[in-house]
Structure 1
Amino acid sequence: MTASPETLYDVIDATWPAAEKWTDGPWTFRKGLGAGSRVSATTGSGTLADLPAAEAQMTALDQPKLFMIRHGDTELDEMLAAQGYVIKDPVTLMSAPIEPIATDRPPAVTTFEVWPPLAVEREIWLEDGVGPARVAVMERAECQRMTILGRLDDTPAGTGYVGIHNGVAMFHGLVTLPRFRRRGLAQHMIRAMAFWARENGAEEIALLVVKANGPANALYQRMGFEHVADYHYRIKAE
C-alpha cells in the first residue's frame, strides 16, 4: 500500500532531521545549521496575522524567510505569494513497494553497506555539493540508517544514504561521480538500499527529487517508483 503524503512528510523529518524542530502556535520551525532548505523551512497553517511572528523567528535563527508548501497548503501558498514570496525548488515525492525494487542484487563488489560514512563517501558527496552540514544531518538521524558505497573499475564511484521510519525507507544524497554516470551504478545503489531496507523491516521505499532533474525522474519512473505528492518552497524575495 502506497504511503500517504502526510506519512512521507513525517519520513522526511525522521530520516533527514533538522538540528532542532519545535511548534509555536500555528508554525513548526526548524533549525538547519546550514544544511539546506529541507531542514530549515517553516511549515504550518498560519494566517496573514501570524506571518510576522514566523518571519521574526526565522530572522532570529539567521535563516532565510522560507516556508515548505505541502499537499493541501493551498491557502498558505496563496497568502505567501501575495506577500512577495517566490517559488523555490518544486519537488516530487515518489515511492514503491520494496519487493519490485529489491530484485536482482548488484554485481559482486559493486555496492557495500557502510556506517558511519567513510572519508571517501564524504569526498564524493562534497564533489556533488553535499558538504559537511548535510552529512551531519545523516549522522544525527535517530532512525535505522545506512549508506551504500558504489564502486566501478575498482574505484569508489558513488554513494547514497537511506533511513527507515515506520516501515518506510527513504533515500537521500544519491550521488554518482560524473565520470561514472550512464553505467547503471545509481540503479545498483538503489537496489542495494532496497535489500538493506527489506532486511530491516521496511515494506516501502521512497525518495524525493527536484522536478527539474529530468534524468533522475526518468530513472526512478523506469524502476517503478510512482508519484505520491509534491511540495515546493516559498522564499521571501528580499
Structure 2
Amino acid sequence: MSADWPAIVDNTWPAARYIRDGAFLLREGQGGGSRVSAATLQGTVTTGAIAEAEDKMREMGQRRLFMIRPGDTKLDADLEVRGYTVLDPVNIYSCPAAMLTDLPVPRVTVFAVWEPLAIMHEIWSRAGIGPARWAVMQRARGPKTGLLSRRKDKPAGAGFAAIHETTAMVHALEILPEHQREGLGGWAMRAAAFWALDQGAETLSVICTKANAGANALYRSLGMQIAGQYHYRVLNQTGEPI
C-alpha cells in the first residue's frame, strides 16, 4: 500500500486553516510558503470551480496558487490556458528509517531538541525561513523535533521533523554555507531516522525542489528513492500577493 503523501505533508507541515470549497481544498498559509498556501483538487475541475477558488484565495490575501499532483492533468492544462506558470517542481524522497541507522551519528554532531533553540532560529533566518514558517512547525500536532547540527563545537545547521502515522518527514533542513560539503546534511538525516524509529515511525521522507541539485544528490547518496512528485501553478500578474 502506497503512502498517503498529501496527508503526510498536511499533517507534518500544516496550514493555518483548511477550507473545503467545492472542487478544491484551500489552505490559508499566513505567509508560511507555497506548501501551506496552495489549493488542491478534491473533485471535478471546471472553469467555474477554478474561478471560485481564485476568488477565495484573493479574499485570504494570497496569490492564486494551485498544487498539481499526479493525475491532475486536466487541471494542469486548464491553468496553463488561464496564464498560470509552473513553479517549483519537487521530488518526495523516502526510505525505511532503519536503513539510515546502519551508522551511528558521531557524538555531539546532531541533537534532536524541541522547542527549537534561539540559534536554530538564527540559522533558519539566514536561509529565509522566518517566523511564518516557525509557526507552521508549532502547528504540527504529532511527534516532532528540531535538529541542531554542530561542527567543531559550533552550530552549523537546523532542521525540523514531524510524524504522521508511521512516516516521519524532514522539513526546513538548512546547513550554513560555511559548513556545507562537510557531510552534515547526511548526519542530520541519519539523526532524524534514529529519532523517527524511537517514536515508532517506520519510514523517513523529505521533500526538495528538483532544481536543488545538492539536496537531490544528498538524498540519492543515502539510498532514498523518489516516492512522489508534484509542482505548482501560479498566476503572476501585477498586483498579485507575493
**TM class, shorter-length:** over 0.9
Number of the residue aligned with 2:10? 13
Aligned partners of 2:11 and 2:141 also within 8 Å: yes
Q: Does 1:70 align with 2:61?
A: no
1:32 maps to what in 2?
A: 29
1:130 to partner: Cα distance: 0.5
Superposed CA RMSD? 1.0
- Residue 125 of structure 2 is matched in structure 1 by 126
> How does 1:1-238 map onto structure 2 within 5 Å?
3-4=2-3, 7-44=4-41, 45=43, 46-238=45-237
Report the alpha carbon displacement of residue 207 of structure 1 after superposing the two structures with TM. 0.8
2:101 partner letter: A
Question: What per-residue deviation string (whole Å, max 9, x for no partner) do you get for residues 199-237 of structure 1?
Answer: 101110111110000011011001011011210000013
Q: Distance in 2 between matches of 1:213 and 1:93?
A: 13
Shift of 1:53: 0.8
Q: Where do 5+ consecutive residues of structure 1 fail to align? A: none
* 1:49 Cα deviation from its structure 2 partner: 2.1
Q: Secondary structure at the match of 1:160?
A: strand
Give the 3-state SS of the residue equivalent to 1:79 in structure 2. Answer: helix
* Contact 2:11–2:164 (CA under 8 A) maintained in structure 1: yes
Question: What is the one-letter code of the residue matched to 2:97?
Answer: I
- The aligned amino acid for 1:21 is Y
Structure 1 residue 22: Cα displacement: 2.0
Rounded to whole Å, the distance in 2 between the matches of 1:56 and 1:49 is 11
Alpha-carbon offset, residue 51 of structure 1: 1.5
4+ runs deviating over 2 angstroms: none
CA distance in 2, matches of 1:186, 1:94: 14
> What do the CA deviations read for 1:17-62 (whole angstroms, capped 9, x no partner)?
0000121211101000001100000011421121111111000000
Matched position secondary structure for 1:159 = strand
Say how many residue pairs are matched: 235
| Structure 1 counterpart of 2:27, one-letter code | R
Q: Report the secondary structure of 2:135's partner residue.
A: helix
Would the aligned equivalents of 2:21 and 2:53 in 1 still touch at CA under 8 Å?
Answer: no
Deviations 1:85-142 (A, max 9, x none): 1000001111101111122121111111110111000000000111111011001111
Cα separation, 2, equivalents of 1:107 and 1:228: 29
Counterpart residue type for residue 130 of structure 1: I
Equivalent-residue separation in structure 1 for 2:102 and 2:46 (angstroms): 48
Give the aligned residue type for 1:233: Y
Normalising by structure 1, report the TM-score: 0.96
